[in-house]
Amino acid sequence: MSLRVPLLGIETEYGIIRDDVDNYDVVEESIRLVRCCEMKSEFGNWAYSRERSHQDMRGFNVPSLAQDEEEDAFCVEDRKRPYSYWEMKSDRVLENGARFYNDHTHPEYSTPECSSIFQLVAHDLAGERIVFECARLRNLEDKPGRICIFKNNTDYIGHSYGTHDNYLISRRLPFEHWVERLVPFLVTRQLYAGAGKVGSELQGDNCFSGLQLAQRSDFIETVLSIETMIQRPIINTRDEPHATQDKYRRLHLILGDANMSPYATALKVGTTQLILTLIDEDKLKLLVDLENPVKDIKDISRDQTGTIALKRTNGKTITSLELQEFYLDAVDKNLSGQCKEWDWVIREWARTLDELKHHPEKLADRIDWAIKKDIFTRFIDSEGVSWDDPWLKSLDLEYHNLDPERGLYRGLEQTGGIYSMFSESEVQLAIKKPPEDTRALIRGLAVTYGMDKIKNIHWTGIEFKDGNFIDLSQVVTSTDVEHLINSKKEQFSWL
């Protein structure tokens, strides 16, 4: 029996604008949005001292990051605002175990740690609801214009913001072992995980016209890097496991898109979890090394057929679809029949690749880029415009609008035009309750019942005003959760 990746998480930076207003402070808007959250939460006590963002998985520390320089630049500007640094961050740890804060120009929602794919997707959807509810409350205020929130990754004028999927993996294997087996998979998973994008944002790339598979592919510049704002990599090398350092790594992937379709999110996270399991068990015997994966990720994004030839280091070529089929075959042979959730992923992965090859129009009920292709093609035909018309980029943005009265994806949800995975009650449960089998349960209970006693809080622990401390860094499995609760019940009555 295989051991699945024990903890999963998604961090989403949301786009935010104040509609119909020429001049507004996006930092101020992001702060105000987070402060509108009415959920029970621990506010302003995030333990930044526990962050280790400068440690690299390749065995060294970097003296500075681009984000440090941006922080310094923002600090100069922020001195003009009536807030301290901590007030600007407006950090909230919510009763469901998630983190919600201002990442300078974007509200960011980080799901609680989850133990399963479907659990994670439900919490990702909960994040959408929480962020939009804050926007709704903000719009009740007497202010000009209207706050609009977008779950996407680009402003279409050259700036990108991230959606990061995270996986706790073993440290017993060399980092290079993970990299060489994972890169070809990550380069090609946009065939079903891409959110779609009209046009290109590559400098000097004026020849592309049409729909890309993915939004982030234009912004990927290197295979490996600890950076997230410049030299964006296929695999981020930040060595910050938020767990026992000598046992685990946290694979922090920043190349993925923000999916509106929960099906696409489930497939993206689920296939990645399965590949990581194969790598951990050393069951990927045949390696497929790509000659130029950074170029490939951009070329694949411009090919909706999956048939573009990718150069291998051995002089041969392979298509993106063939690469995904190679990974699927390895997963099917080694991991099928082990749990219902994995079997769903394997079945739907196979179905999606088969339809991409033979009937790509059938993807238009669940894969974001294919949904966009269907909508936009019909719009182009009815209005007599081209893919270069600015109208298309406006529609592209509105696809990601969380407002049910404006968002194109939200409209499809209401008419039953897309694949549905979760009931409203399941999403509402994720809004209020943390997963019961991960350490997020302890964090959520602390916020719900012991909030007035908390001094600071983090993914790895909770410090209380009376000097007590709960160490969460070693709490990885459901058994760990149960053991911690049993051992701390007398000390913390709310457990």
Catalytic residues: 103
From the CB of residue 42, how many other CB atoms can be counted at a distance below 10 Å? 23
Q: To 10 degrees, the CA torsion angle through 86, 87, 90, 91?
A: 30
Exposure letters 449-466 (e unless 16+ CB within 10 A, then b): ebbeebebbbbbbbbbee
According to DSSP, residue 197 is labeled E
* Residue 334 in tokens: 């080694």
DSSP state of 488: H
289-320 burial: b if 16+ Cβ within 10 Å, else e? ebeebbebbbebbbbbebebebebeeeeebbb
- Cα–Cα distance measured from residue 351 to residue 363, given in angstroms and rounded to the nearest whole number: 10
User: What is the rounded CA–CA span in Å between residue 240 and residue 62?
Assistant: 13
Q: Phi first, then psi: give them for residue 375, nearest 5 degrees.
A: -65, -50
Tally of residues, the chain: 495
- DSSP secondary structure letter of residue 207: S
Going from the C-alpha of 300 to that of each of 126, 177, 240, 297, 435, the distances in angstroms are 31, 24, 30, 5, 36
Distance CA 318, CA 324 (A): 10
